Structure 1
């Protein structure tokens, strides 16, 4: 491959201002994945839709991000991570305005798709920007801050959404993005390093993201609709079949392209594979459960929207503490140890939450939340650092693969948990019983992910093709 460097200094900076730009973008991006959760009833009233249909307000955003993450990485490798970061932040801000001004459900979902597409580019460039702006211990700290910020934003989404919805109206959960995006663009324009190693010859893959999007939409639709229509319904079977065919065709197409958005050679590296499994596991095991915990806290424990959000602090605080602590030692701890232990901690923490009944109080979750938060706080920065531990010219694609794994874990986790919960009676006891099953599935996912990643990392060697 032939790489070229853009004009500008190639020295790395120890200033933390580039990280500020990245963190602001990551925060608003991840916040918008969950901030709408508590606002769905208000949206349903204003836009004349029901809450079931409005699930697509969440899913349209996540699926759009997952579908084009890989192309976003390839675009960043070709045209520049800094340039595309700034463009995507501006695009995200405009899409947020469209969300806030939407007058119909269709307009809102379309604007959320636009948000997700911009978000994919933002997310794909943030890991790469940290990689090219920092080195050594500073890089470890930067990855820790980014990972911690992402986790906190996901958890705080319902709290901030509740505050804004109750105080100003649901439209402000989108409009509030404008000043944050403006700050990220201003700081990023002046402080992000301009010198980058680029692949000018790289062609952009079009069939790949199209097939991936078709497969994901069909799969998520089937999971969300199967309980209402029945798993043997012709439409559901057609969606599941179509999803399988589209995803299989995606792999075939990617394997035959000279410059695919998904370079399958990356998966010859066991460390790279373990990183994707770990990233998928964190999102699918615990973060996807937050939606259902929020419902339980509000509808079954009688907490307010704000109170339900504050109930997640026992997870947020350990994520902050562990994330900050691990950053200083990131390059001195074996990945096999950190990833295996952190995923296992998530599994153990979820197991401690089992035993939910219709009379269970919030304190029942406390110990499990603390342990789970510690696991997430260690896992997020370690996985973020390993995700871009590839040759410089492949950083964008590698970051895109990792972000796809994260988004898929979140989207498929929510859809799968919703499908399981839909099989239980719509009563307090039925929801509690269903929540126990979801927690058990999440714990099993984390423990299996820990074991698999540990085995892969034990014999993993960096063999990324250049």
Structure 2
């Protein structure tokens, strides 16, 4: 198949890059605009904090559960076919969200969006890896990363403008024309590829158990904020989640073709990097979920201004991630991945200065900049460590596992931390009550981020050298998405 590979500089190569960037960019754009629209959606759908959590987590639940399985599905059925199905599915689910008359329908639409996202996001990267000549792959992925990051960067402005116009439904409807163009370009210009040697059965049992486990824990943690842990339904939900995860581990251990090969965690550096991912992305997902809502409800920012408030993080990631990756190559990942989470913790603590009378440039911006610098120091070395900790032929599964870990961490944190901070019911609509809970949530996020620095220092020593292969540094993070997408979504 090497002779059939496409060169990046050709017309067809540019069309392939356009199709994959449009599809992924649609998902990333959706991720940044949904958070901006949460207060408006909550008001129109009469939603408390639990409803807002489910609007975010409904998507994340399916993405975290199915992202590993979808990669195998693309290998078997065809990567272009899986990508196209994902794009169409995502667009139809977006229309469901746009016309949702109730909170329940909205959550159902977001769950459906998560399935589409799980199909299209890894599929876009798989198409790049298998379509372009080997010498062009790194540049293709880097260009894809830049283009999709631009989509995330403009998302707050697009979403804020649409929400401020009084029609938050438009943030979902814009996906329909984007999806149509993506499908047409893909079918015309993207060749089909599949792994002809892919054998074994799809790990459907593993995917179902992972979904049940994440859903049980998510429902229990979110509902406990309103009903307490003594409620029998909540206790049952948490128990089901724990039992499903125990069964998932046993199924993966026994399976000949596991969705999650547990032996990959025998590598201490790989395990350490994923533990850092859990605490750092858990902290990040919760803080960015809450801060955009807090700025609108407590400080009365417009949706546009609230969404744009976190833009410096994306700008710093785009500008400095390459330098951070190069520094990690020279001095190793231990120091950057220790310093980065500590800077993030400092950013969360600086956000404690934000109050109802705060000025953006003196209270919000310094915290966002420090948080962004922490991300720059963490993300590229983290991605490099995950990939360099395993042999080349395991790089795909290593990246997929880290992606799923990051999504799951955000899912659990968005479910648990608001409840632990006392942000429940309609308290997010009360500026004073929300301010008190927001401060507690920031402390929790700061402790989690600092723990990430400690874990990196302990687990990423130079004992046990990583596998030596070339790791290219891109501006996208371990989530294969901008840092506060979903949080995209």
Which interval holds the TM-score relative to the shorter structure?
0.7 to 0.9
Q: Which segment is superposed worse, 46-55 or 343-352? A: 46-55
TM-score (norm 1): 0.84
* Greater mean deviation of Cα atoms: 237-246 or 46-55: 46-55
Distance 1:288 1:137 in 2: 37
Whole-angstrom CA distance in 2 between matches of 1:193 and 1:391: 28
Task: Work out the CA distance in 2 between the residues paired with 1:386 and 1:20.
Answer: 29
Q: CA deviation at 1:130?
A: 5.0
Which residue among 85, 88, 98 is the counterpart of 2:86? 88
Q: 1:81 touches 1:128 (CA, 8 Å); kept in 2? A: yes
Asked if 1:403 is matched to 2:403, the reply is yes
Q: Taking structure 2 as the reference length, what is the TM-score of the superposition?
A: 0.80
> 1:11 and 1:252 mapped to 2: Cα distance?
42
Structure 1 Cα separation of the partners of residues 43 and 444 of structure 2: 33
Partner of 1:431: 434
**Corresponding residue for residue 370 of structure 1:** 369
How far does residue 312 in structure 1 lie from its aligned partner after superposition?
1.9
| Distance in 2 separating the partners of 1:447 and 1:100 | 39
Rounded Cα–Cα distance in structure 2 between residues aligned with 1:163 and 1:102 = 21
Q: Which of the residues 239, 262, 283 maps onto 1:285?
A: 283
- Deviation track 1:406-433 (CA, whole Å, cap 9, x = no partner) reads 2112212211221123269945444333
Q: CA deviation at 1:253?
A: 1.0
CA shift in 2, pair 1:423/1:291, >3 Å: closer
Q: Given the superposition, is the C-alpha separation of residues 345 and 263 from structure 1 closer, same or farther in structure 2, using an over 3 Å criterion?
A: same
Q: 1:39 aligns with which of 26, 37, 40?
A: 37
Pair 1:146-2:145 in alignment: yes
Match for residue 412 of structure 1?
Answer: 412
| Residue in structure 2 matched with residue 457 of structure 1 by the alignment | 460
Partners of 2:391 and 2:75 lie apart in 1 by 12
Q: Secondary structure of the equivalent of 2:123? A: helix
- Asked if 2 retains the 8 angstrom alpha-carbon contact of 1:348 and 1:372, the reply is yes
**For the structure 1 residues 294 and 72, does the alpha-carbon distance in structure 2 shift closer, same or farther, using more than 3 Å as the test?**
same
Q: In the superposition, relative to structure 1, how do residues 104 and 357 fare at CA in structure 2: closer, same or farther (>3 Å)?
A: closer
Contact 1:323/1:377 (8 A) holds in 2: yes
Structure 2, unmatched stretches of 5+, are 469-489
Counterparts of 1:10-159 in structure 2, within 5 Å, are: 10=5, 13=8, 17=14, 18-40=16-38, 42-43=40-41, 52-132=50-130, 133=132, 139=138, 142-143=141-142, 146=145, 149=148, 153=152, 157=155, 159=157
C-alpha distance in 1 between matches for 2:334 and 2:140: 19
Structure 1 residues 255-264 or 365-374, which shifts more? 365-374
Larger mean Cα displacement after TM superposition, 326-335 or 117-126:
326-335
Aligned to 1:3: none
1:382 is displaced (CA, Å) by 4.2
**Higher mean Cα deviation, 351-360 or 372-381?**
351-360
Task: Tell whether the 8 Å contact from 2:5 to 2:133 is kept in structure 1 after alignment.
Answer: no
For the structure 1 residues 375 and 277, does the alpha-carbon distance in structure 2 shift closer, same or farther, using more than 3 Å as the test? Answer: same
Q: Considering only aligned residues, what root-mean-square deviation do their CA atoms show, in Å?
A: 3.5
1:127-165 superposed Cα distances (whole Å, 9 cap, x missing partner): 444555476897278459628945972x76554333213
The whole-number CA distance in structure 1 between the counterparts of 2:17 and 2:327 is 19
CA distance in 2: counterparts of 1:233 and 1:86, whole angstroms: 43
Judge conservation of contact 2:423–2:434 (CA < 8 Å) in 1: no
Q: Do the aligned partners of 1:318 and 1:373 also contact (CA within 8 Å) in 2?
A: yes
Alignment equivalent of 1:245, drawn from 243, 246, 258:
243
**Structure 1: distance between partners of 2:453 and 2:193:** 38
Deviates most, 269-278 or 187-196: 187-196
Label 1:329 to 1:439 Cα distance change in 2 as closer, same or farther (>3 A): same
Structure 1 pair 346/40, CA: closer, same or farther in 2 (3 Å)? closer
Gapped regions of structure 1 (runs ≥ 5): 1-5
Could you tell me how far apart the structure 1 residues matched to 2:353 and 2:48 are? 32
Bigger mean CA offset, 93-102 vs 223-232? 93-102
Residues 246-255 or 368-377, more deviating: 368-377
Q: Is the 8 A contact 1:223 1:416 kept in 2?
A: yes
Q: How many residue pairs were aligned?
A: 458
More moved, 353-362 vs 315-324? 353-362
Partner of 1:232: 230
CA contact (8 A) 2:351 2:367 kept: yes
* Aligned counterparts of 2:141 and 2:377: Cα–Cα separation in 1: 14
Encode CA deviations 1:103-146: one digit per residue, 9 max, x unaligned: 44443332222210110122223444455547689727845962
Distance in structure 2 (CA, Å) of the matches to 1:8 and 1:113: 41
Among 157, 165, 176, the residue aligned to 1:167:
165
Alpha-carbon spacing, 1:423–1:104, altered in 2? closer, same or farther (3 Å)? closer
Q: Are the counterparts in 2 of residues 269 and 461 from structure 1 also a CA contact under 8 Å?
A: no
CA distance in 1, matches of 2:150, 2:440: 24
With over 3 angstroms needed to count, the CA separation of the structure-2 counterparts of 1:277 and 1:78, relative to structure 1, is farther
- Give the 3 Å change call, closer, same or farther, for CA 80–266 of structure 1 in structure 2: farther
The change in CA–CA distance for 1:134 and 1:452 in structure 2 (over 3 A counts) is farther
